[in-house]
Chains A and B, each alone.
Chain A
């Protein structure tokens, strides 16, 4: 009973906030709605018994990813209204619905056949975080290391791409010097 109430409440809130994030023309509203949706999604993870995944969702998505997006928003000056030349809404909606149904059917069709066996069955007596640790550092050790290298590569790429001309601190310059620098850049 309570599971049903929490499921429908969270589902309604997540769908509503993601719909706002997709349709609004204000970048700030989109970012805020996205953050709300990310945090609400972790509610599903806690209901599903994936405690560690829920904590990671809050830390990584709501903490790191959205902070990065907020930085990007400040940089791109999208605080004013975003002007977009919109294509036909009906065509876009129909195409999105069709391709969604197609993708979900393709991916979820094996679930219908009832012959699925658990590779790494979860044990009731052990906590979720402990189980995740055991499976991650035995069966998924190589993907884990590869993911670590990938994150390192992404970090270096981010620094190299975004960090150009950051040796000059704008806060320490006088007004005229800043204007001169701006003219040089243009």
Chain B
């Protein structure tokens, strides 16, 4: 116990003397949480639309007005030639071309049928498919408007129609920030936990102080605890800063209890700290540790359900996410913050995370050798 006291005292002295760590802990969460949720949401906006209007009719004008009024599209070009508009796509000045052929109004009125042509720049796949879908639904909407204007609708529609009303549970306004902020907080905790621990230990390897420790009777278990505890506590500091920002700037107050969040975070931090330890035992210098944790972070973030929904991944990728601690924490955060889940609701997640913690730390302790 006495040994641990000395190890902790030394570690805290070093941490508080390192301005880089303090800056990292205080500034990183603030910047990430203030900037990212605004920029990184799932909605596609500002789609650049090039209109090829070869009809010059009232209806064509109305349609274009309706599209630009939707707020999703910016009118980037307006011309009479399709080739000209295609050129805009080639130069990346337009994402979508909508061609209104000559005779659009005439056909619509006379034949009750008209065609439009849409071409999409699919280099940015998300923008193209969502843009196409938005445009399609606006045109459908317009179509209905025209029909009601022209045709006296019978009392009972000859066509069967299903009307849908939906309500969004747990996030009624579909506010993306409610969804993103808890997720970004998870990434922050992961980075602080895994990277700082790994770099800290590898730094001692580089300087040679770890050899000096290895030649003392300090047990490796004590040494590792002396490294884990300070970064575990720092993780709580980051979590608290993050939850405060979520509340002050985004008005996000967890529906569930803070207690649940902190209990799960405690176990989660143990798991990522263990991972950091593991990275450090397999790296002999800071560059190696950085690259290895960067590689892991990429996988964790992209396969963690923050930016892409896990349910829409292929089956094999969904299997990978089951071995990704980040995905559990993101799920738990969203459950507790948005849905108000309690400890009992997340017990399976908690058990799995405990498993991760035991696995990573156990592996790290076993592979740490005082003697080579």
Q: Do A and B bind each other?
A: no
